[in-house]
Amino acid sequence: MLSPPRISQDPDLLNLAGAGALFPLTLGTICIFSPSTGFRIFGFPEPVGTPQARKRRWDMMFCFGSRDVFFGLSALAAWHEGAGRVLGWLYLCGALMAVADGIHTAREFGGGAWKNIVWCPILVAIGGGLLEWFDQS
């Protein structure tokens, strides 16, 4: 008798998660080296006002970009080592990060939270798959 499929062991899922790590890595790199492009990508207004207010916005974009680069590199390292469960946990943490970013965006700009939160189901599905949530016993 054939054993039920184990989604968590499917190499395609692991490779999908590894490829998905390129998204925050690329986005973070853009935000670090070209914050004005980061503002345009996210649909945020360019920083205006006092020099301190502009610096605060630029620094925030650098912070978000750095965090995304570190997240992407961590996920790529887990993928490279074949650590599917670790990658699954990273993806679940990424979903929480998307919620936090959505809350911050809504508070800072008065809307746009959906641009972050829309990724949560995808991140949870991939993370859950790697964590054996959908494996049949």
The answer, as to whether pTM is greater than 0.85, is: yes
Residue 79 lies in a domain: yes
* pLDDT at residue 1, rounded to an integer: 60
* pLDDT at residue 77, rounded to an integer: 98
End-to-end CA distance of the chain: 14
Residue 112 lies in a domain: yes
pLDDT in tens, the chain (137 residues): 667 667 778 889 999 999 999 999 999 999 999 998 988 888 888 888 889 988 888 898 899 999 999 999 999 999 999 999 999 999 999 999 999 999 998 998 888 889 889 999 999 999 999 999 988 86
Tell me how crowded residue 5 is: count the other CB atoms within 10 A of its CB: 11
- Polymer length of the chain: 137
Structure tokens at 82: 């074949």
* pLDDT at residue 121, rounded to an integer: 97
Residue 2 lies in a domain: no
Q: Which domain holds residue 40?
A: 9-130
What lies within 8 Å, CB to CB, of 103 at 6+ separation is 113
* pLDDT at residue 75, rounded to an integer: 97
* pLDDT at residue 90, rounded to an integer: 98
Grouping H, G, I as helix, E, B as strand and the rest as coil, residue 4 is: coil
- Write out the DSSP string of 89-102: HHHHHHHHHHHHHH
How many domains is the chain partitioned into structurally?
Answer: 1
Residue 99 lies in a domain: yes
What lies within 8 Å, CB to CB, of 58 at 6+ separation is 35, 47
